[in-house]
Amino acid sequence: MEQTFIMIKPDGVQRGLVGEIIGRFEKKGFSLKGLKFITVDRAFAEKHYADLSAKPFFSGLVDYIISGPVVAMVWEGKGVVTTGRKIIGATNPLESAPGTIRGDYAIDIGRNVIHGSDAVESARKEIALWFPEGVAEWQSSLHSWIYE
Ligand code: GDP
Ligand code: MG
C-alpha cells in the first residue's frame, strides 16, 4: 500500500494544530504508520530540502524548519501521496483553497504549517531519511469498512 511522509512544521506545533492535522488524516481513513516528535539540526534539514538548495529562500526555509520541534509522520493508504497533497493545499496559502490545511490555517508561504511528499518516489526517500529504523507493521481493523 502507498505511503507518504507528512511533517507538521514548527509553526504548526507552536500554534496547537497537531491534533487537528492528525485528525484530518485519520478521519479520511488513512493509517498512521510512524510518528515522532523531534527537533532536527541544520544538516538534516538541508538534506530533507536538498532539491531546493539553489533557491533564494533556502537558508530561511532551513532556519524555519530547525526553529522548534516538528511532528514527523508516515501515513498509508490508497492514493495517499496525491490525496495528502490535496488535504494540505497549495504551497502558497494565499492560493490554497479553504478546507485545506494551509487554506484554513496559514497566510505566508514561509509559515505554511505542514509538509507532504510530492510523489511516490520522494515519499520513499523522505521516509527512509526520517524513519531509518522503519515504521510500524499493522493493519487497522476498520480496513474492510474503508476499502471495498
Ligand atoms: P511544498 O512541496 O508545497 O511544501 O513546496 P516546495 O517543495 O516547493 O517548497 C518547500 C517549502 O519551501 C514550502 O512548503 C515553503 O515553506 C517554502 N517555500 C517555497 N517557496 C517559497 C518562497 O517562494 N518563499 C519562501 N519564503 N518560502 C518558500
Ligand atoms: Mg515539496
Residue labelled with grid coordinates 502507498: 2
Regarding pTM above 0.90, the answer is yes
Query: What band does 140 get if pLDDT is binned at 50, 70 and 90?
Result: very high
Query: What band does 60 get if pLDDT is binned at 50, 70 and 90?
Result: very high
- Which residue among the candidates 10, 70, 100, 115 is catalytic per the annotation? 115
**CATH number belonging to the domain at 3-136, selected among 3.40.50.720, 1.10.150.120, 3.30.70.141, 3.30.390.30:** 3.30.70.141
Mean pLDDT of the chain: 98
Structural domain spans, the chain: 3-136
- Ligand 1 neighbours by CB, cut-off 6 Å: 52, 57, 60-61, 91, 109-110, 112, 115, 118
How high is the ipTM of this complex?
0.98
57 is in an annotated binding site: yes
Q: Which atom in ligand 1 lies closest to the alpha carbon of residue 85?
A: 3
Query: What band does 104 get if pLDDT is binned at 50, 70 and 90?
Result: very high
Query: What band does 44 get if pLDDT is binned at 50, 70 and 90?
Result: very high
